[in-house]
Structure 1
Amino acid sequence: MKKIECVIMDWAGTAVDYGCFAPVSAFIESFNAIGISITAEEARRPMGLTKIDHIRALFQMERIGEAFYQKYGRKYNETDVQGRYAEFQRLLFATLREYTGPISGVIQTIDTLRCRGIKIGSTTGYTKEMMDVVVPAAAENGYRVDNYVTSDNLPAGRPYPYMIYKNMCDLGVPSRFSVLKYGDTISDIKEGLNAGVWTVGVILGSNELGLTEDEVQKMPAEELKKRMMEVRERMYAAGAHYVVESIEELPALIDCINTRMANE
């Protein structure tokens, strides 16, 4: 019988770093260093890509590319991309460990899934060097996965499916129908869809919502509901099979997916 045997988690904004703030601030400051202001919304838009591709995506935005041209009298080039990436890394590594606390409900839910025999894999837009900071720091806070994969030494990162396939190989999961990808960005959703696996987006704590936990708690109910609905609609428009408010919904959702597959 087909059933979910493996959940593949994203990291920042999904499992740790509520609101996905570590990379956002580093992207903003890396561009500020050359006199180009970018907004948090712009910084978040390509989130989930490998970080070098994220830098390229920022330069490719019409407003940012034009701002660079107006300041420097030329179009940006790959040297500029590499320069911003180097500065991004310097800024990120200075604070990355501070953003490795697990999001509420994650540890308990992962324990529940493990008790069911479900394997926990993961993919990320971070490099291996970045994950060498994140993984042990998250473990100190109680969050562990069975496997993590970066795009290092793979053909590409998100939205391509290679990191999911590598998890399947590493964890011995033979069928894509037994895999569920869970993440907080549009890139996560595209990665899951391109791999042909069940794909679930999460709203609270996500990059797409872009709020701290304190901001969520203090926001007027109607405004929060509106913002969450906008995220839900974007994720479904991107092709997500399901969208949940928080990870606590995941075990029951997996039961529904298992029943759905059993009845097909």
Structure 2
Amino acid sequence: MKNFEMVVFDMAGTTVVDKNEVESCFLEAVNQTGLQATNDEINSMMGWSKLTVFQTLWNRQLTGASEKEIARRVDDSYAIFRETLEAHYLKSEILPTPGSLEIFDYLRKKDVKIALTTGFYRKVTDIILSKLGWNEGLDKNYTGTGLINASISSDQVKAGRPSPFMIFRAMELCDVNDVRQIIKIGDTPSDLGEGKNAGCQLSLGVTNGTHTREQLSQYENDGLFDSIAHFHDFLIKQD
């Protein structure tokens, strides 16, 4: 039984192995620029646009400072983060999470569209897709008929997760007219919020990424899975 037209997947921590690289690169920028932020604060904003995270943290730290001063601090932190993150992904091995390729193959055979959304900006997203070979078949609009049907990064829409705009953009690119025919799955609270804010049929989480089952269960969701492989098993049982 197929009662959905598209699955929107998160990348790092969900379909792409994440060994806390993003958090480590973020902490490097935090430490180099004098920004005060705990691991818990950073973890609570995983999945957000990273520029938005820096803006949030600097506004919190520099209460009463001028907009110009805050903007300067944000730019400095974000520049170091980008440099560190790009260097890491360019030199490091990038792997799909166990079960990702299998579920992609399953969905393609069912004629279900596959879209990837991410809190990364476009340049890093392209580095990851290229090293995985997932960019094959994508055109200049990041849509196509290859392994995945669409890729949307947070800097391509007016607001990243938990806002719903990346999902709405995926709908445009993939010609999906009804958001109730979409399943969203990711590993962060912002992924769950993105799916709920968009009005997806299901907003699901995997608990082997950045957040545990206990952490994700505190947020509205339609189901939590130990991994993408377990989500695959769930879909097969519905078939």
2:103 counterpart of 1:109 = yes
**Partner amino acid, structure 2, of 1:5:** E
Post-superposition shift, 1:22?
Answer: 2.1
Cα RMSD, aligned residues only: 2.7
Deviation at residue 144 of structure 1 after TM alignment: 4.1
Q: Which residue in the other structure is 2:57 paired with?
A: 58
Aligned pairs, how many? 226
| Partner residue, 1:7 | 7
Secondary structure of the residue aligned to 2:203 is: strand
User: 2:86 is matched with which residue?
Assistant: 93
Which string of whole-angstrom CA distances, capped at 9 and with x for unpartnered residues, describes residues 94-151 of structure 1?
A: 1024263111111112212222221111111111111121111122799942210123
TM-score scaled to structure 2, two decimals?
0.84
CA contact (8 A) 1:135 1:144 kept: no
Instruction: Give unmatched runs, 5+ long, in structure 1.
Output: 210-227, 259-264
- Give the direction of change, closer, same or farther, for the CA distance of 1:256–1:242 in structure 2 (3 Å limit): farther
**Ranges in structure 2 where 5+ consecutive residues have no aligned partner:** 137-145
5 Å-filtered alignment, 1:186-205, equals 186-197=189-200, 198-204=202-208
Aligned counterparts of 2:46 and 2:162: Cα–Cα separation in 1: 11
What TM-score do you get using the length of structure 1 for normalisation?
A: 0.76
How many angstroms does 1:242 deviate by? 1.1
Residue number among 211, 215, 218 corresponding to 1:231 in the alignment: 215
What percentage of aligned pairs have identical amino acids? 29
Please state how far the C-alpha of 1:253 moved relative to its aligned partner.
Answer: 3.1
- Pair 1:102–1:79, CA change in 2 (3 A): same
The 1-side partners of 2:124 and 2:223 are apart by 29
Q: Note the 1:138-217 alignment, pairs <5 A.
A: 138-139=132-133, 144-197=147-200, 198-204=202-208, 206-209=209-212
Check conservation: 2:188, 2:216, Cα contact below 8 A.
no
What one-letter code is carried by the residue in structure 2 that aligns with 1:119?
K
SS of the residue corresponding to residue 157 of structure 2 reads: coil
**2 CA distance for matches of 1:114 and 1:86?**
38
CA contact (8 A) 1:2 1:178 kept: no
Stretch moving more, 151-160 or 10-19? 151-160
CA distance in 1: counterparts of 2:5 and 2:35, whole angstroms: 46
Say which SS state the counterpart of residue 18 (structure 2) adopts. coil
Distance 1:141 1:159, change over 3 A: closer
- Aligned counterparts of 1:99 and 1:44: Cα–Cα separation in 2: 23
Of the two, which has the highest radius of gyration?
Answer: 1
SS state of the match for residue 16, structure 1? Answer: coil
Partner of 1:44: 43
